[in-house]
Structure 1
Amino acid sequence: MTPPAITGQVALVEDDYTLVINRGTEAGVVAGMVFAVSSGTGQVITDPESGRELGRLSREKLRVRVFDVQPLFARAHTFAETDSFYGLLRIPFVATDDVVTIDVGDPVEAIAIEGMGYRKEANGY
């Protein structure tokens, strides 16, 4: 059985590579956990037949790995996937092409624990 999803929000942006999530050990967060940070607002999807709002598209901005966990919050930093040079060396990733803006209040969701699966990826992979 899959454990319940741990969701929360960005509580603080410390610097260009580190942020604070408003969930900690009391919510089940552990060091090594990977969170997807998504856009807070996405494009509205409207049913063409009824005109009813079906929901919003949420775009993943980036992923962060938790390195410090307190009872009510966790600190995490950006990283590269392990198939890259920086990921293999566990060096925080520095994007050079695109700038990703993270805002306080952006939603986060736990997607993995380092070294073991946590839950199925949101995109089905």
Structure 2
Amino acid sequence: MTWAAITGQVALVEDDYTLVINRGRDAGVRSGMIFAVHSTSGPVITDPESGRELGRLSREKLRVRVFDVQPLFARAHTFVETDSFHGLLQVPFVASDGAVTIDVGDSVELIHRDAAGIHAAAH
């Protein structure tokens, strides 16, 4: 990556498809940026030799695209690239059969600076 990393946390789950990130224009967030939302409750990794905590495993829950940027926060919608007409599939945050649960405090990390990089990023 050739830009400064932007990381933060989920500050609010607004509805089933919209969340608020605790970083905004003042932190360099712009409309169209893509963030990965990661679980913050993964298992602790402990060094078997020293017993020292090395960190936690984190898994990506989903990706969101910023659509509204304020000075100190940004609002984003979920998306997953598909072959649909619009290229987007809305994925609800709510816990139900197979749906992803997003929690306030989950970490977010910039993975693409603008919407032009969406297709290159999709796995």
TM-score (norm 2): 0.83
Which residue does the alignment assign to 1:72? 72
Partner residue in 2 for 1:41: 41
Taking the aligned partners of 1:105 and 1:51, their CA distance within structure 2 comes to 27
The one-letter amino acid of 1:76's match is A
Alignment partner, residue 55 of structure 1: 55
2:86 to 89, 92, 102: 89
Displaced runs of 4+ in structure 1, greater than 4 A?
Answer: none
> Cα distance 1:11–1:114, how it changes in 2: closer, same or farther (>3 A)?
same
Q: CA RMSD in A?
A: 2.2
1:24–1:72 contact (8 Å) kept in structure 2: yes
**Superposition deviation, residue 91 in structure 1:** 3.9
Give yes or no for contact 1:77–1:92 (8 Å, CA) kept in 2.
no
Gap runs ≥5 in structure 1: none
Q: Cα distance 1:17–1:98, how it changes in 2: closer, same or farther (>3 A)?
A: same
Indicate conservation of the 8 Å contact 1:5/1:109, yes or no.
Answer: yes
Residue segments in structure 2 that go unaligned for 5+ positions in a row: none
Letter in 2 for 1:89: H
Cα distance in 1, alignment partners of residues 12 and 34 from structure 2 = 17
Amino acid in the other structure paired with 1:94: V
Q: Is the 8 A contact 2:91 2:99 kept in 1?
A: no
Residue 97 of structure 1: how far off its partner (Å): 5.5
Report deviation, 1:94: 3.1
User: % of aligned pairs identical?
Assistant: 70
Residue 51 (structure 1) shift: 1.8
TM-score (norm 1): 0.82
CA distance in 1, matches of 2:97, 2:83: 17
